[in-house]
Structure 1
Amino acid sequence: MTLGVTAPLLAPGHLLLRDAVSTPRSYLTDGALGLTQAAPRALPQDFAVALASTVVDGGVVVKALLMLGLWLAGWGAARLVATVLPDAGTAGQCVAVTIAIWNPYVAERLLQGHWSLLVGYGCLPWVALCFAPKLHSSSGSASGPLLECNFGRVGALLFWIALAGLTPTGLMLAATIALACSMAAGRSRWRCAGLSLAASMIAALPWLVASAVGGGWAAAADQQPGVAAFAARAEPGLATLGSLASLGGIWNAEAVPASRTTLFALASAGVLLAIVAAGVPLLIRRRTALPLLVVAAAAVVIPTLMATGPGLAAVDAVIGAVPGLGVIRDGQKWVALAMPAYALAGAAAVIALRPRVPAAATAAVFAAALVATLPDLAWGVGGRVNPVQYPAGWSAAAAVINADPAPVAVLPVDSMRHFSWAGEVPVLDPLPRWVRADVLSTGDLTIAGRTVPGEGTRAREVQQMLISGADADQLAAAGVGWVVVEGTADGTPELRLPVAYRDDDLTVYAVGGDAAGSPHRTVLLAAHTVWLAALGAGLIAMLVGLLRSRHAHRRQQDVDGPERGDQ
């Protein structure tokens, strides 16, 4: 199913679609470490991709991680069913896999370019699995505590939270699942919650430290124009509640599969919700699943309320009081929290119908119906998610700047670009990930004709200097080393600056200024290294724990074998 969605990405090229930007090589610039005026929203993913791209082409890294995220979502959903609902069998696991991978949330986030968010999405069932007991009967009796405080389980929890923590949003999603499951751990609940919080804090160090020393979140205080723009959206035939309950409703109406832009969306929503509803009554009786059901309900209801008038006012007030919580503006992305419960409910529906319908038949009908009512998720959401080739000039321009990596100012002023070679969809400016230098970006976005200002006040000041006709000496005094004009830059005046490189796509002007690097690079590198070490240590501990468990199981089988023979 993952290949059915992402097969176009196997072709050569780089993913360049709205917020998804990959380049052949990226670097550990101040921007990649979060040392900018902008809020640190892409940490530690930029650090991870910069490291990986020293060995493998950055385009391959991003595409592989995106595919890994979807594959983990499906595999994790199957493993969660096998652990919590073993009587669902392979048929129930197949339904869970289909729900986890083939849904509007995946389609819309792919079209928005949120590849790293989908990695976090894929980690959610695995986080829940860290707390799940092994049920050995249909009555739901458990073989032990929800979370045994052993080497492997703790390592798994640390690994999956750290992997989900490629972005702050992914980490918050994983931490929510972990804390919710902790509350069902009986006498171990506070120990489990403490472990979950500790793992989350370690994984959050890159953007927590960047926020403390860089002030990016503080600069994001004036987010009022973006609150309404990023609210969840009702799709045709569905109110906001129905859109969110069916895992749709992204704020950007252009990042939606075609089948969700007509009344056919009712069919997609109806099939998914009917399958989930059929399994919920049985799932309620399984104590292990109750926290996930509660989280799923909250993940639908709260974003719905956030999209109302009073909800928008409340979100605006919260962001004004705590600027770092601007991450909550995009209410629909929190619907990802419903996926583990939805997958379990789909498997439970197979159990509920088994007395009347064979499990294999139920699974086949459910899976076919889910795919048929969202047909355009196939093949890169109908061919809209595919790699592109950069013109040769981008490599040449980057080489010019990398020879003297001084700060770069960019025109046009908007953060999104339209490139003829990248298709009709706007894309985030890829230049900051192409060069060793820091690129001054305002972060401004234009949504439905309305500009949502970003946090880059310095970049805005420099761009105003450029538009006003500042000369090289004035720009150099402002700490600008290069000026890059991308595309035709309609409305941009001809700059009277020395040209270092020019072609049909790019013009690079040499200014000669420079700016001191941030004094906080060392502490940010240390914070990112801690995250990377947690990821590696968690993986090693999880694998060692798995090997120990298998060895103990085999040893127990050896002991049980002679005893059964004596009996």
Structure 2
Amino acid sequence: MIARPAGLSRAVPALYSLALAALILGPLLGPGYLLLRDAVSTPRSFLTDSALGLTDAAARAVPQDAAIAALTSLLDGGLVVKAILLAALWLAGWGAARMVAALLPTTGLGPQLLASTVMLWNPYVAERLLQGHWSLLTGYAALPWAVLAALRLRRSARPWSPGSWCPLGLTLAAAGLTPTGALLATTLAAVLLAAPGGAGSRWPRLAVAAALAASASAPWLTATALSGAGAQGSDPTGVAAFAARAEPGLGTLGSLAGLGGIWNSAAVPATRTGLFAVAGTVVLLAVVACGLPALWRRRGNPVIAALAVVAAAAVLLPALAATGWGMTAGEWAVTRVPGAGLLRDAQKWVALAAPFYALAAAAGAGTLGRLGVRTSAGRVRSGQAAAVGIVAVLLALPDLAWGVGGALRPVHYPPAWERVAWQLRAADESGDVAVLPAGMFRLFPYSGDAPVLDPAPRMLPEDVLQTGELIVAAGTVEGEGGRARDVERLLLAGEDADGLARLGVRWVLVEHGTPGPLGQSRRTLDRLDEVYSDEELSLHRVAGDVAATGAEAGRRAASVVAHLVWAALLAGSASVLLAHHVRTGRGRGRADQA
């Protein structure tokens, strides 16, 4: 048998994961912008108070919005978002293969590729893509790398040395593109670092991890503290509205065990809306279950044991949260515990089970090989068994391919958006933007069949007022935007324009071609100056003095510093690791020459 070159073996999982990621995103990789439910990419974003998380709304999109604003000052926003999403999916699959190689070093290439497939090709990825949670998938992608980083830190007698903590710093900073991502990666890393064993005491490495987590989470922690939005509490009706959902024939626990069960029944692939969901879940769990005996024999490895405990908790706790008493406890928490509203979408935490699933699938390839029938060439090998597992996982969710059944397609904004943005930049007047029709979601002719978040807050250079109110199947979930609600009521009632000025509104943008309540707003608009109008958008100006409502200079400076801390951790850790890789490569090259 001809030996496979070591370099090729290392490269194959990365190339395979990249190919799978491209197959998943499919048509989205063409020209245009991502605009689907909660996902909004625009040609250019701006560093507004909203982007820094300094409005009365909860800081759910920091440092994401500020980072996109910085990058889109140099690059097209559609390209930036698609590049981040492609990189996230690629790294999720590659990281799973690397994790298997580290924890199960005797496994071959086939089981590593099976682990990559399980990490990438599952209902969690499909449903979060359909919901538009592209940035959450960066936190998901960080999980196998968090395992690798925790392994390095556990093996180091000097956890404070850059070579020891930089991998974890980079992982947590990348995951920290959103608050949820930071919590996912931090939780997994903390559990692994707290597990018994490793070099030296666990407390120094936990202290290092805590400092890194605080730095990675600095933007949203600072924004929450400065804005006070987290202390207001969340609407308790959101707990039931965002609870994990039972898919056909599976129940809530079965849906979560199969890495599905997102709250929005419209954000699921077609094959998860019928009894095929049962078949797909059975296939995925069977592939995972084949590896449980092998991992049980390795239960003495504290990292593997910890991953198993985390996976079990990630499935069971969201299932319990969807019960009657679980919802009661959740309602109490979101109204009384600052920041607890971040936990209400319970299904997103099932991501923590994915690394163990990938590891078990890889371990199961050996079991599948032992169960294989004999052929003229002998017993089926683990690589062949892994290939069978890969095909089974792919067929269990066939419509994840090509943009999740074509749902992920780029859109093209009409030129009116750029013209309005230019109008606001040219005017250079302080004051916020109110939007009509009322509500946060839109249904434009160019945006497809699913409601999408209003692109105005990310398209325009001024703060756009949003109530945060969400319309779900169970009813309405109120947001934290108190001033935005006051402005919305004023517009719908057709009141005098002076009220807008008192509330800090300089502009009113009317978005045509999308349904939504307009009330008596025409009476108010008739009292304003119309500065732009076409079939897509109309922009109206409030004359005279407008109350100042922007964040104070000190709060804004503190938020900017927090974002710079996060960016420094991301760039600094990456630079140190790159320099180490270059030095190692040169040393290996000199050794080969010798």
TM-score, normalised to structure 1's length?
A: 0.93
Closer, same or farther: CA 420–83 of 1 in aligned 2, 3 Å = same
Give per-residue Cα distances to partners, 1:470-522, cap 9 Å, x unaligned: 23333223211000111255541323222111122211111133524211111
Measured after TM superposition, the shift of residue 468 of structure 1 is: 1.6
> Does the CA-based 8 Å contact 1:156-1:538 persist in structure 2?
yes
How far 1:150 sits from its partner (Å)?
A: 4.2
Aligned-residue offset at 1:201? 0.4
Structure 1 counterpart SS, 2:151: coil
- State yes or no: 1:540 paired with 2:566: no
> Which of 539, 553, 557 is the aligned partner of 1:508?
539
Cα distance, 1:132 vs structure 2: 2.7
Q: Give the counterpart letter for 1:541 in structure 2.
A: V
- Which is further off, 493-502 or 289-298? 493-502
Separation of aligned partners in 2, 1:171 and 1:385 = 26
| Alpha-carbon shift at residue 147 of structure 1 (Å) | 8.6
What residue in structure 1 maps to residue 192 of structure 2?
Answer: 181
Alignment equivalent of 2:282, drawn from 270, 290, 304: 270
Alpha carbons of 1:296 and 1:413: their partners in 2 closer, same or farther (altered >3 Å)?
A: same
Structure 1, residues 458-479: CA drift from partner, whole Å, max 9, x if none? 0100111111212333322321
Structure 1 residue 195 displacement after superposition: 1.6
Is 1:522 aligned to residue 553 of structure 2?
no
> How far does residue 254 in structure 1 lie from its aligned partner after superposition?
0.2
Q: Which amino acid is the alignment partner of residue 202 of structure 1?
A: S
SS of residue matched to 1:485:
strand
Q: Is the 8 A contact 1:168 1:204 kept in 2?
A: yes
Which residue is 2:376 aligned to? none
Q: Indicate yes or no: 2:35 matched with 1:35.
A: no
Which of 412, 421, 443 does residue 389 from structure 1 map onto? 412
1:223 is displaced (CA, Å) by: 1.7
SS at structure 2 position matched to 1:446: strand
Q: State the percentage of identical aligned residues.
A: 51
Which amino acid is 1:429 matched to? D
| 3-state SS of 2:25 partner | helix
Match of 1:564 in 2: none
Deviates more, 1:427-436 or 1:401-410: 401-410
Partner of 2:94: 75
Matches within 5 A, 1:144-543: 150-184=161-195, 186=197, 187-219=200-232, 221-286=233-298, 287=301, 288-355=303-370, 356=372, 357-403=380-426, 404-405=428-429, 406-448=431-473, 450-488=475-513, 490-492=516-518, 493=520, 494=522, 495-496=525-526, 497-512=528-543, 513=546, 515-519=548-552, 520-543=555-578
1:409 to partner: Cα distance: 0.8
1:24 deviates by: 0.4
CA distance in 2: counterparts of 1:147 and 1:22, whole angstroms: 42
> Could you tell me how far apart the structure 1 residues matched to 2:583 and 2:95 are?
21
Residue of structure 1 equivalent to 2:139:
120
Distance 2:33 2:569 in 1: 29
Amino acid of the structure 2 residue aligned with 1:348: A
CA distance in 2, matches of 1:185, 1:291: 10
* C-alpha deviation, 1:556, in angstroms: 7.9
CA distance in 1, matches of 2:257, 2:215: 32
Q: Is the 8 A contact 2:188 2:352 kept in 1?
A: yes
The verdict on how the C-alpha distance between 1:284 and 1:375 changes in structure 2, with shifts beyond 3 A counting, is same
Kindly indicate whether the alpha-carbon contact (under 8 Å) linking 2:63 and 2:178 is maintained by their aligned counterparts in 1: yes
Aligned counterparts of 1:201 and 1:550: Cα–Cα separation in 2? 32
Q: Is the 8 A contact 1:23 1:430 kept in 2?
A: yes
Q: Which moved more, 1:177-186 or 1:377-386?
A: 177-186
In structure 1, how many angstroms separate the alpha carbons of the residues matched to 2:562 and 2:118? Answer: 36
Any gaps of 5 or more consecutive residues in structure 2? 1-19, 373-379
Per-residue displacement from partner, 1:91-138 (whole Å, max 9, x unpaired)? Answer: 11110010011000000000000000001111110010112369xxxx
Q: Tell me, what secondary structure is at the counterpart of 1:119? A: helix
Aligned length: 550
Offset from partner CA, 1:336-360 (integer Å, 9 cap, x none) = 1011111110100012233343122
The CA deviation at 1:364 is 1.2
Aligned equivalents of 2:363, 2:499: Cα separation in 1: 68
Q: Where does 1:45-56 land on structure 2 (aligned, <5 Å)?
A: 45-56=64-75
Q: What's the CA shift for 1:281?
A: 2.1
| 1:3-18 correspondence to structure 2 within 5 Å | 3-18=22-37
1:110 equivalent in structure 2: 129
Distance 1:285 1:171 in 2: 32
Equivalent residues of 2:159, 2:208 under 8 A apart: no
The superposition leaves residues 358-387 of structure 1 with CA deviations (integer Å, 9 ceiling, x where unpaired) of 122211111111111100000000000111
Contact 1:407–1:514 (8 Å) recurs in 2? no
Q: Secondary structure at the match of 2:351?
A: helix
**8 Å CA contact retained: 1:178, 1:193:** no
Cα distance, 1:285 vs structure 2: 3.2
Is 2:135–2:178's contact at 8 Å kept on the other side of the alignment? yes
